[in-house]
Amino acid sequence: MARFAMVIDTVKCVGCMDCVVACKTENKVPEGFNRDWITTDAKGKFPTVQMEIRSERCNHCDNPPCVYCCPTKASHVHDLGGVVLVHHHMCIGCKACLASCPYDARFIHPDGYADKCTFCIHRVEKGLDPACVAVCPTHCMYFGDLDDVESQVSKLLLERKNHALIPEAGTRPEIYYLI
Partner 1 sequence: MIELTTTRHNELIDPIVHVWGWEIPIYLFIGGWVAGMMILSGYFFMKGRGKEYHCVCYRIPLLALGLITLGMLALFLDLEHKFYVWRLYTTFAVKSPMSWGAWLLLLLYPTLFIIFLLQVPDWISTRWPILHSWSQKLRSVKAITKIVGMVNIVMGIILGTYTGILLSALGARPLWNSAILCILFLVSGLSTAAAMVHMIAKERAERELLARADNLFLFMELLVLALFFIGLLSSTNVQIQSAMLLLNGPYAAVFWVFVVLLGIVVPLFIQNLAVNHKIIHTPVSPIMVIIGGLILRFIIVSAGQFSHYANAHFIR
Partner 2 sequence: MEFISRRKFLKIGGASLAATTAIGNAKLFDSKRATELRQVPTFCDICFWKCGAIATIQDGKLWKVEGNPKDPLSRGRLCPRGSGGIGAHYDPDRLKTPLMRKSVRGEEEWVAVSWDEALGFIADKMKKIKADYGPEAMALFSHGIGGNFLKHMLKAYGSANIAAPSFAQCRGPRDVGFKLTFGEDVSSPERTDIRNAECLVLIGSHLGENMHNTQVQEFGDAIAQDAEIIVVDPRFSVAASKAKYYLPIKPGADLALLLAWMNVLVTENLYNQDYVTKYGFGFDHFVNEILPFTPEWAYPETGIEPDLIRQTARVMARHKPATLIHPGRHVTWYGDDAQRSRAIALLNALMGNWGVKGGFYYPVSMDIPGYPYPEYPHSERPKVDNPDNKYPFAHETITNGIREATLTGNPYPIKGWLVYATNLMHALPNEKETIQAIQNLDLMVVIDVIPAEIAGWADVVLPESVYLERYDDLNVEWFREPFTALRQPVIDPPHDQKPNWWIAKTLAEKLDLGHYFPWKDIEEYLSYRINQAGLSYEQLKSEGILLGEKQPIYFSEGVPDVFPTPSGKIEFYSLQLAQAGFDAVPKYTKPPQPPPGYFRLLYGRSPVHSFSRTQSNRILMDMMDENEVWINQDVAGRYGLKSGDYIRLKNQDGVVSNRIKVKATERIRTDCVYMIHGFGHNSRMLKFAYEKGVSDAQLITQYTVDPLMGGTAMNVNFVTLELEA
Residues that bind partner 1 (CB under 8 A): 17, 20, 32-34, 37-45, 56, 65, 68-74, 89-96, 98-102, 104, 106-108, 111-113, 165-166, 168-170
**Shortest Å, Cβ 34 to partner 1:** 5
Alpha carbons 40 and 16: distance in angstroms, whole number? 11
Instruction: Give yes or no for residue 168 binding partner 2 (CB under 8 A).
Output: no
**Shortest Å, Cβ 20 to partner 2:** 6
Inter-residue contact 86 to 78 (CB < 8 Å): no
30 Cβ contact partners less than 8 Å away, ≥ 6 residues apart = 109, 110
Nearer to partner 2, 1 or 49 (CB): 49
**Shortest Å, Cβ 2 to partner 2:** 25
Cα–Cα distances (Å) from 8 to 17, 93, 146, in that order, read 14, 31, 14
Give the number of other Cβ atoms within 10 Å of residue 99's Cβ: 12
Site string for partner 2, 95-134 (x = CB under 8 A): ----------------x----------------------x
Site string for partner 2, 7-46 (x = CB under 8 A): --x-xx-xxxxx-xxx-xxx-xxxxx---------x-xxx
163 Cβ contact partners less than 8 Å away, ≥ 6 residues apart = 176, 177, 179
Which residues contact partner 2 (rule: CB under 8 A)? 9, 11-12, 14-18, 20-22, 24-26, 28-32, 42, 44-47, 49-51, 53, 111, 134-140
